[in-house]
């Protein structure tokens, strides 16, 4: 018998890092999931794991590809619509990060296509599958608001995503639109940003999940949040860390 689904979320970049940590937690809480990632093998492993707890549709592909976005919209339709969209997929750009005057313009365009254009294009593709009061959660960074040396490409893209999110919230008051800084995390992308550095002192992505849950299941107004500074109900903390 298929598990009973309370709500459904679409999570991009769900095969590792923050996306995987959030997908695991939502699956335990009875959410149905539509997930994607560029790597088909890792995504299938994630689907098999989560399918023991909830209904999961997994589609491998690149969010910059309109055909892939249409496939995600079709999956959302087949699962009964969406209560949340989590735009988590993204790319860092060159590793190590170059100064802006040395940044290849064609690579910067790719970073913007993935981190800015694709999240909006995905929302456009699934707009008719969004249920009333659906939540949109765009994962951003402190690099969007702080001028870190060497982070001009990634940071400016995230800054654009934040402004896009803010305008989206104003234009769509029936939705709850969040742009969320998860904080430094021990992830592959963070290691790529600091290729010669030991990042084992950074917290695992699971530490940021309770704040995301508060936004997805609570009643916070649209806006910018830092995931680790959001008040979290005790039951959410236990679920998020697998306690």
The beta strand positions in 27-147, using DSSP E, are 31-37, 56-60, 82-87, 130-139
pLDDT tens, position by position, 131-166 = 999 999 999 999 999 999 989 999 999 999 999 999
pLDDT above 80: residue 4: no
Helix (H, G, I), strand (E, B) or coil at 50: helix
Contacts of 161 (CB under 8 A, 6+ apart): 115, 116, 119, 138, 140, 144, 179
Indicate whether 238 pLDDT > 70. Answer: no
Domains of the chain: 7-240 (3.40.50.720)
Q: What are the strands, taking DSSP E only, across the chain?
A: 7-11, 31-37, 56-60, 82-87, 130-139, 176-181, 223-226
- When pLDDT is averaged across residues 187-209 and rounded to a whole number, the result is 69
Characterize the bridge pairing of strands 130-139 and 82-87.
Answer: parallel
DSSP annotation of 6 reads S
């Amino acid at each position: 018998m298929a598990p009973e689904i309370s709500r459904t979320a679409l999570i991009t970049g769900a095969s590792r890092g923050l996306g995987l940590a959030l997908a695991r937690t939502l699956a335990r809480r009875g959410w149905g999931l539509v997930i994607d990632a560029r790597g088909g093998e890792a995504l299938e492993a994630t689907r098999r794991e989560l399918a023991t707890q909830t209904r999961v549709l997994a589609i491998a592909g690149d969010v910059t590809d309109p055909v892939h976005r249409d496939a995600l919209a079709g999956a959302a339709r087949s699962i009964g619509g969406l209560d949340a969209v989590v735009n988590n997929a993204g790319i860092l750009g060159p590793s190590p990060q170059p100064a802006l005057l040395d940044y290849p313009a064609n690579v910067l365009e790719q970073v913007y296509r993935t981190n800015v254009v694709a999240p909006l294009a995905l929302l456009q593709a699934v707009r008719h599958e969004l249920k009333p009061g659906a939540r949109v959660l765009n994962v951003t960074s402190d690099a969007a608001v702080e001028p870190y040396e060497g982070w001009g490409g990634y940071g400016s893209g995230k800054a654009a995503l934040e402004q896009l999110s803010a305008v989206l919230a104003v234009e769509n008051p029936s939705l709850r639109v969040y742009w969320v800084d998860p904080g430094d995390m021990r992830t592959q992308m963070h290691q790529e940003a600091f290729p010669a550095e030991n990042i084992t002192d950074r917290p695992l992505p699971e530490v940021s999940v309770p704040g995301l849950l508060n936004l997805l299941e609570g009643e916070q107004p649209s806006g910018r949040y830092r995931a680790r500074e959001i008040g979290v109900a005790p039951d959410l903390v236990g679920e998020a860390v697998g306690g």
